[in-house]
Chains A and B, each alone.
Chain A
Amino acid sequence: MALKIENLRAYYRSSEAGVATVVRAVDGVNLTIKENEIFGIAGESSCGKTTLIRTLSGTIKPPLEIVGGRVVYDIKEKEVDLFSLRSSEMRALRWKHVAYILQGSMSVLNPVRRVIKTFEDFTEAHERITDRKAFREKVNKHVLDLGLPIDVVTAYPHQLSGGMRQRVAIALATIFKPPVILADEPTTALDVVVQRGVLQLLKDIQRETGNTVVLVTHDMAVHANVADRVGIMYAGRIVEVGAVEDIFQRARHPYTQHLISSLPTIGDRTPRSALPGAPPSLANPPEGCRFHPRCEHAMDVCRREVPPMLEEENGHQTACFWANREAVS
């Protein structure tokens, strides 16, 4: 096990002009992510996946609040509860143990400084650089190992293309070879050819170092290509988890089935059916199963109760009364 999420709830609380609003972006998520795997988290935009990964990285700034649950990292065979850490311990954990590749990584580089300076800043946050020359060589080697041209190190961000900036961001995140990498939509703003390169880079790093990658993207095709296991998120909750083949070939949750069937396949010309309705507001989610207003199989029980997560086989779990109707009865 690399990390374990137990009944995690993270809400955005704000009160403007006397009206308090609570957005339940992550509302009762349970997941166990193994070592040496690429775990994909899929779902529509604003289903809470960015909030989930941000919580995993320990970046909790108001109005975001942890309301309940735990995130436990396995660090050198020891279980560490993320939210019990002091801020200095949290700082030590980040980047050395857990690296985070932000959504829209194209703009994570300081526009007025050379890339190497950012490497220096990020490194010096964790360890003293005693020998600048040796450090530069280390960065050069790291960048070369990742297959990037050597002159990106001395360039300014505006001189690099979007795809290159994304790759530099990945290089920056992996300088300490962290056991866990959290990546939020790393390929979203890129064109398809560049996407492939960036994904391949992530995959190669994972192969080589055997670490754990948590990859968040709405793009199911990316999951199909890269992930070992996939979790499907809907309205703040995980509704289905399984190995990538199970998810794509034997999807059980009606929502997952919709996501899969909306993917284009070569030679198939039948029109894609769109999911009726819109995802619910997380400020005021529906009772019971949050998918029931859009679900064609919705039953009475779905409107009243939250469906439990049940395992079928091979770690394939689904939270759906309809899919698990045999198991329940």
Chain B
Amino acid sequence: MKNAFLRYIILRVLQCLMVIFVGITVTFMIPRFTPVDPVEQAITRMTMFQQSTHPEALEEMRASLATLYGLEGSVFEQYLGFWGRLFRGDLGPSLSSFPRPVMTLIRTSLPWTAGLLLTSTIIAWSLGNIIGAFAGYFHHKKWSQVLGVMALVVWPIPYYIFAFLLLVLLAYVIPIFPLSGAFAIGSSPGLNWNFISSVLRHGFLPALSIVAIGFGGQFLGMRSLVSNVISEDYILYAEIAGVPNHRILKNYVIRNALLPQITGLALQLGMIFNGAMITEFVFSYPGIGYLAYTAIFSGDFGLIMGIAIFSIVAVALAVLIIDLLYPVFDPRVKLR
């Protein structure tokens, strides 16, 4: 019994390390095995705005950029150095706001992303699953079918287009919510009502876009899972035995249908960084996604690289946490 559980944990941890290894190796290889040299790219971009640059100065800059990006020595040496710096938590300096380290920039943006995306993803997941479970259990009811059609129409729309439509409708055509930012310019950050209400008001629309799309997906998934579970014998048996509906729904239907959705939550958390880029770009929300967008704009290769690596590690860890929590919900994993 103990052994199966231990095996499960070890496998999960190994899988997490594997994700980090594969992801970081891919990110390492991209700039080295593409025909474009990021150093040359950076230099072209810099010299574009300067009238004259001395060839020696250029050469010096080239060398210092190569050091900066860890592009010295053989590929293998570079690879080892790359990992070495990662272990020290060093993601290099940002180019656009030199010499501030990438890590510091990420740290200042992270609370916004975490606050907005983590909460709205979890809200979307919980709402979608609870309402989806009800809709699946009472699938012949009118409201369940109406909700189903709504989710069906919203869910397949590409997130960018949906978020954009929402922004246009609720901030531009009918200006209820602010167009951009995380809080009003005038309010001073701190624990005062003015600031908090401003944050909530600014966060509402981006959160709504994530909740609506996420809700649609979770709702549809849960509804079809529940419609499978309710044809199981243990549901029929509980019904025959006269167990009340609400109890069947809670202890029998949801407990069983939720299991694949928990694994789904791990993937959803992984999608946060996909989502963050777009949400924060559309709503100009100052999180990591917006940071990435400004990095693209200003040609800050180091910052993009750093964000990619950071998101890989964060996602792998989030998935690991959910995997380790999974046995709490499914006794079959630890007791075999």
Contacts and interface: CB of A to CB of B under 8 A. Distances in A.
| Complex: A in contact with B (CB within 8 Å) | yes
A94 B234 contact: no
B233 interface: yes
Interface stretch (B118-126, B143-151, B263-271, B328-336): B328-336
A158 interface: yes
Interface stretch (A6-14, A44-52, A105-113, A213-221): A105-113
A156 B232 CA distance: 17
B129 to A, nearest CB: 15
B46 interface: no
B164 interface: no
A311 to B, nearest CB: 34
Interface in A16-57: 57
Interface in A112-168: 112-113, 117-118, 121-122, 124-126, 156, 158-159
Interface stretch (B26-34, B85-93, B104-112, B239-247): B239-247
B7 interface: no
A94 B256 contact: no
Given A102-B233, A156-B331, A156-B332, A110 B251 contact: yes
Given A107-B234, A110-B234, A94 B242 contact: yes
A122 B239 CA distance: 9
Interface residues of A, number: 28
B257 to A, nearest CB: 10
A122 B238 contact: yes
Interface in B252-274: 252, 255-256, 259
A95 B241 CA distance: 6
A126 B242 CA distance: 8
Interface residues of B, number: 24
Given A109-B234, A110-B255, A111-B332, A121 B240 contact: no
Contacts of A100: 240
Nearest to B140: A62
B240 A110 contact: no
Contacts of B242: 91-92, 94-95, 122, 125-126
Contacts of A107: 232-234
Interface of A: 57, 59, 91-92, 94-95, 100, 102, 104-105, 107-113, 117-118, 121-122, 124-126, 156, 158-159, 172
Interface of B: 232-234, 236-244, 247, 251-252, 255-256, 259, 329-332, 335-336
28 contacts: A57-B240, A59-B236, A59-B239, A59-B240, A91-B242, A94-B241, A94-B242, A95-B241, A102-B236, A102-B237, A102-B240, A104-B233, A107-B232, A107-B233, A110-B234, A110-B251, A110-B255, A112-B255, A112-B332, A113-B251, A113-B255, A117-B251, A121-B238, A122-B241, A122-B242, A125-B242, A125-B244, A158-B335
- 9 closest A-B pairs by CB: A91-B242, A108-B237, A125-B242, A107-B233, A122-B241, A125-B243, A156-B331, A110-B234, A108-B233
